[in-house]
Amino acid sequence: MTLLSLVVNPLVAATLLALPCAALFVGFAQVTTVVTFLWQPRPWWRVLAGAAAMALALVLAPIWRRWHDRWTSVLLAPTETARLAQRVQRLTETRTDAIDTQAAELRRIERDLHDGAQGRLVAMGMALRTVERLLDRDPETARRLIVEVRENTATALTEIRELVHGIHPPVLAERGLADAVRVVALDCPLDVEVAADMAGRLDPPVESAAYFAVRELLTNAAKHSGASRIRVAVHHADDLLTISVHDDGHGGADPAGGTGLLGVRRRLGTFDGVLDVRSPAGGPTTLTMEIPCVLSSRRTSTCSEPG
């Protein structure tokens, strides 16, 4: 074993010493070759030509890039026929969504009337017929029934007002979107801050769509987000209405999750509006609505400062 070590160890040591020496020799030979090549008179014009070509390429590269981007967008852009087909498809989808939304709204109104005010009015009519029969025989019972009818009348009136409020709130018709959003914020169980910058009024259909979209988003936040604070910003500029709803909840909002966001997106789509959802897990959530529209009249809101 000792004899083998005496033979192998010097060989390994010699090999390890020879490798860097060989590498150094090869590197020196390459450097010598390059210097010898450049020292000759003729190769210098090649070096100068290459340097000039490189400088020219650096100067022309941004110009070539701009021309490339421009012609690429021109050549790859959809044709007028394709854009028209896309527009027709988009209008078909939004029209279908609008019809479905309107049908659902009519069913909701019919259901609310049937289950609420209509039932109370029928009960009131039956009670009044009973009162007619009891006026002479049992006036005390008739008096109690009249009191019940009066109470039911007040309840039915309240239900009808709430139904009308759900169709088109009076504050929206009288004061505009900004004040209507502030009223919704006051009714929300969370702490809601509203900042509005509106120099005029929108067309009633756009105001209604934006109002109900904001109300739906606040309702969703109160039910599902786990937030404590919400900030609503309403802004109109350059023929674009932008509304953002930001909450400090746990996030995870998904339009496909059945939380009403899909319905809001469909409602806005009728007016070529969009809904952008940014809600990472853990929060916060920022929902941004954009609707292209113009102001139709001057501002009627009495409160333009953030509330």
Domain 89-167 has CATH 1.20.5: yes
Bridge partners of 278, per DSSP, are: 286
For residue 233, the model assigns a pLDDT of 95
Tell me which residue has tokens 């050549």. 75
pLDDT, tens only, 159-193: 777 777 667 788 888 888 999 999 999 988 899 99
Cis geometry, peptide bond prior to residue 306 (ω within 30 degrees of 0): no
pLDDT, tens only, 33-54: 544 555 555 555 566 666 676 7
Mean of pLDDT values over 245-271:
83
Superfamily of domain 175-298: Histidine kinase-like ATPase, C-terminal domain (3.30.565.10)
For residue 185, the model assigns a pLDDT of 92
How far is the C-alpha of 243 from the C-alpha of 246, rounded, in Å? 10
Measured CA distances, 259 to 157, 265, 280, 298, 301 (Å): 31, 12, 16, 35, 31
* Higher pLDDT, residue 114 or 155: 155
Parse the chain into domains and list their residue ranges: 15-74, 89-167, 175-298
For residue 44, the model assigns a pLDDT of 59
Tell me which residue has tokens 């937030």. 227
244: tokens are 């953002």
The 3-state secondary structure of 4-65, one letter per residue: HHHHHHHHHHHHHHHHHHHHHHHHHHHHHHHHHHHHCCCHHHHHHHHHHHHHHHHHHHHHHH
Query: How far is Cα of residue 278 from the mean position of the Cα atoms in its chain?
Result: 7
Query: What are the DSSP calls for 116-167, one per residue?
Result: THHHHHHHHHHHHHHHHHHHHH-HHHHHHHHHHHHHHHHHHHHHHHHHHHHH
Helices vs strands, H then E, count in the chain: 9, 7
267: tokens are 């409602």
162: nearest Cα among 217, 219, 112, 220: 112
* Higher pLDDT, residue 191 or 32: 191
Q: Model's pTM, two decimal places?
A: 0.58
Say if CB 273 and CB 287 are below 8 A apart. Answer: no
pLDDT, tens only, 195-247: 998 888 888 888 988 998 999 899 888 888 889 999 999 999 989 999 999 99
How far is the C-alpha of 240 from the C-alpha of 202, rounded, in Å? 11
Q: For a pLDDT cut of 90, what percent of the chain falls above it?
A: 17
> Average pLDDT, whole number, for the chain?
76
**90 CB contacts (<8 Å, ≥6 apart)?**
272
For residue 290, the model assigns a pLDDT of 94
